[in-house]
Each structure stands twice: as C-alpha cells, then as structure tokens.
Amino acid sequence: MPREADDRALLLTTNSQRSRRLTAMLGLTAALAAAAHAKERNLWPLWVGQLQEPTAQETQNAATPSASALLAALSPLPSSESAPVNSWTSAGPFLFSQPLPTEPPRLDTAVRVSGFRPFYVQKTDATGRVLNAYVLPPLFQYTYSPFGSRWKIFSLINRESPSANHVTGPASRERTAFEVWPFYFSRQTGNPETSYRALFPLYGNVTYRFGLDRWSWVVFPLYGRFEKNGVTTTTAPWPFIKVLRGQGNSGFELFPLFGYRAKPGEYREQFYLWPLIYKNEKNLSAPQPDIRQGFLPFYASTIDENSASKTYLWPFFGWFDRTAPRQYHETRYFWPLFVQGRGDDRHVNRWAPFYTHSSGKGVEKTWLLWPLWRQHISDEGPIIQTKRQILYFVYNSTGQRSATSTTSAPAHKTHLWPLFTTWDNGAGRRQIQALSPLEVFFPHNETIRTVYSPLFALYRYDRSSAENSRHSLLWNLVTWKRAPQQREFHLGPLLGIEKRPAEKRVALLAGVIGFDRTATRGWRPFLFKFKRRPAPAIISSAAQSAPAPSESDLLATSAAQP
C-alpha cells in the first residue's frame, strides 16, 4: 500500500481556505488577549516568569496566609502557594517553557513547548506526553501520534514504529520501518507482499516507495526493474538498455541512440540521439492528438486541440498561439529572456534581466534589474496580496488587504534582513523582532521559529491592542509593559517599578528593599517583600515569546467584515 505523507501542508491557498484562515486570525487575536492576565517576576538571567492572576477566591484566601505561605513569601521564586506559572525563561532565551497558541487550529494536540534552546526542545499534550522532541534540529526529531512514533536523524536515518494499540498484520496499514539513506531500507507490515529489506545497490525488492509500486535491483545499475500501474520497465544496465511491457504498453531504448514507447490508441513516443531528435504523441484517439516534436536546435513544435507553438533556432525565434478557452499570442525572440505576449486574459512584456511585466488571472508580476527588485500582486479572491522584494531576501514585504471593503485596515509583514521583522495583522496586533536573520528564509517552519529565532531576539515588541503592549530588550533583561491603568518596568532583578491606580511600587533586588504606596496611605519602605498583590498584566509570555506568524497568517481581521 502506498506510503502516506508524514507532514501536512500549512499554507492555505484557495479562496475559501483564505476565508477560513481569516476567521482563524480573529480567534488568535482574541485568544492572546484573553491570556494576558498575568504578572511578571523578573530575576534575569536566573528566571523570568509570567504568573497567572489568582481568582477572587484565591485572593480572599491569601488574606489569611498559612505558615507555609509566609515562608514562601520570602522566596522570590513562585511556589505552590503563589500564582501558577504560565510561562518562563531562564539563562536568557535558552531555558524556557510556554503554552502553545490554540489558533489557528493545530494539527496535533500539543499544548506546551519547553526545553533548552537549541539543544533540546519538546512539545507536550495536556497529559504531559511528549508529542515532538528536537535535538539541534534538523539533527534529530522525534514525533509521537496515536498511531505510532518515529524518529529521524537529518532525515537520513529514519525509524517508524506502530503504537501498542495498533497491531501489525496483513490487514493493517501500520508498519515498522527503518532506513539509512541511501543504503538500507526496511519495512515490516506483517504482509510479505508489502514487507521488505533492501541493501542498495547490492540487492533489493522495495514496494510502494519512490513513486513506484515495486522497484527491484541487483547490483544496480547493472540490473533494475520498475513497476507502476501494471507497466514494467526492465533495464540492464540502467539507463542504457530498457525494455517496457504491460497493460498494452511496449517499448525499447538503447540510450542515447534511439528509443520508442507506445500504447495503441493512447500514446507513441520516440527519440534519436537524445535529446536532439524526438517526437511524442498523446491522445491518439482524439481528432487532434497532442504532438511534441523537435530537431534541436533547429526546430521544435507543440500542437494540441487548442494551441500551437513553434521555435526556430532554439532558443531564439518562436511563437505560441492559443485559441481556446481564451485567445493568446506570444512572440519569443530569445526565450525565456525576450518575450512579448498579448491575449484576452494575459499580457507579457519580458526584456530580462532589465524589465519584466506580466499580468493575467488575477496575478501581476514586475521585475526591475533582476534580481534587484520584484513586485507580485495577487487578486484572486477576497484578499489582495502584494509582495515586494529587493535582492530576494534583503528586503521582503508582504501586505494583504480586503478586496471588498475600503475601510478595512491592511495587514503586513516586513523583513529587513538580518536586522528586523515586523508584523501587523491590521486589527491592533503587532510584533517587531530585532535581530531576525532566519524568519525570511523559513516563513512557514514552526520548528525553526520556535527553536532558533528567539536566540536572536535582542529586542522584541508585542502589542495586542492600542492599549496593551510589551517591550523586551536583551532577552527580558529590560522589560516595559503598558496596559489600561497599569505601567510596569523591570531592569532584571535590580529595579522594578509598577504603577496602577491603587498602588505604586519601587523595588530593588526583586523586593529585598523598596518603597510602595497605596490609595489609603503614602509612601513607605519595605524589606523582603517579594510577593505583591496581583494586577492586570499585558501579554503572557506565550504571546511575548511566540514568533511572528508566517505570510499565510497575514490577514487583516477587519477584511472579514462586509
């Protein structure tokens, strides 16, 4: 049975999927705002944590503390008697633990990520089970699911095992597999038809791998046999002598001198002195078969029911004509550099590398002095996306706006490599990180963004709304928060300043000594006052530490509104 893909594509491309992603961004903003009720305890570089605010009942119980609570109050670190820790970092960005965002919906059940960057990072579910573990990614990766587990080293040494709840057998799709690329391949399913052990290039008989139903070899390339959809190709040695048989197909190749393949009524292919002389015919039963033929470099042509293309002195002179479903004519002077095209749905002016402009099917592309400057505008649905680049990655900016509402705020994400990345979802949520040398190269790689990007975050700004924001400098050595009726500043454990309507506090050495004032009294000094009354915080450490969303998340929240 075919090998199933291990990974899922995260980028949504269709219009309907974009609309759903837009709704997901609404949920992301709300979720981060709801988790913002946390207070910070800063003992940098030893420990910086975000503590969940206690409930009203917990606050009332704290009015008459127990003896253990009084002892815990003398400790600057949280205890079982204090507010639970929502997330924390230690030794700068290296040691950490934080919850994972729930929006957009995840493909797994992981709720928390923690570890020692970049050496070991793990994701766990609500029960504490490790679902993913990484050691210096991409060096080592471990993944667990209800169906089994797998680990891989550089994706060259891979091991898969079914879970104890799934029995391997002839009717089971579960398998035990081990491979060392490109030398050893093994899979055991309990079914001899789909199980194998193969040692490349000496001997092997592999099923449902490499896009084939079966591949057999003996001292490859001296002998090989490829099977797919009932068609068998035997080669000895590869790629010089090939014989094709099965399902009405026949063929023979003495590469590169000549070769042919054919199936009556369907296709016919032949070549001589490959790739100079060739003729390939498909859909032979149609009134106008698809024909590709060439005598390179002098002549090449392609003809089908609705279009025709011819080239003379390839790649210099040629033309392409299409009559249906929409008309289009293209003249090629030096393909692919000098091309002009005109049609009902497409327009091309290409004088590469100096200037290139093309438009059609809702997409417009422009190049100036390739690869100096590039612009790509996509208008294929409810979202209009504009992407601009200078030297591919040095400057890379992606913006999105609503195609139906002129009042909707745009969203954008901009990289100025390697200095910073800035992101704004158009609904009040904004993030800035400096330095940011990796985000532009791995915009959709959650592992890279979780493990490596925070190591470069000398400065980070996170705003959940116009009234809630947090700045972090040198991995939380200096932090400053702002929220309605609250201000908070920390210089590691050396200095902490808090201001809220009913209280002001200045603490040195995390509360060893300081002054505070309440609504009922003036300023008073204190000693060893580590624990303080909870107050609304701005952004949880999960939000503060979470990297900026990828380009597929750049959706203005207001764009979903009519």
3-state secondary structure 527-544: ECCCCCCCCCCCCCHHHH
- Which residues, including other chains, have CB under 8 Å from residue 466's CB and lie 6 or more apart? 428
- Range in 45-49, 51-55, 271-275, 330-334 the model is least confident about: 51-55
- Which residues, including other chains, have CB under 8 Å from residue 554's CB and lie 6 or more apart? 385, 398, 399, 400, 411, 412, 413, 423, 425
Which comes out higher in pLDDT, residue 58 or 45?
Answer: 45
Per-residue pLDDT tens for 232-269? 999 999 999 999 999 999 999 999 999 999 999 999 99
Residue 44 CB-density burial (10 A; 0-12 exposed, 13-18 middle, 19+ buried) = buried
Per-residue pLDDT tens for 402-445? 888 888 889 999 999 999 999 998 888 999 999 999 999 998 88
Band (70; pLDDT cuts 50, 70, 90): very low
Per-residue pLDDT tens for 199-223? 999 999 999 999 999 999 999 999 9
What's the angle, vertex CA 175, arms to CA 169 and CA 178, rounded to 5? Answer: 140
Asked if residues 468 and 104 have their Cβ atoms less than 8 Å apart, the reply is no
- Range in 321-330, 406-415, 490-499, 530-539 the model is least confident about: 530-539
Strand pairing class (290-295; 395-402)? unpaired
Looking at the predicted structure, is the pLDDT value of residue 169 above 70?
no
Instruction: Answer whether 0.85 is exceeded by the pTM.
Output: no
Looking at the predicted structure, is the pLDDT value of residue 557 above 50?
no
Per-residue pLDDT tens for 100-146? 877 677 888 899 999 999 999 999 999 999 999 999 999 999 999 88
Band (165; pLDDT cuts 50, 70, 90): low
Asked if residues 530 and 73 have their Cβ atoms less than 8 Å apart, the reply is yes
C-alpha 198/C-alpha 206 separation (Å) is: 7
Strand partners of residue 218: 203, 223
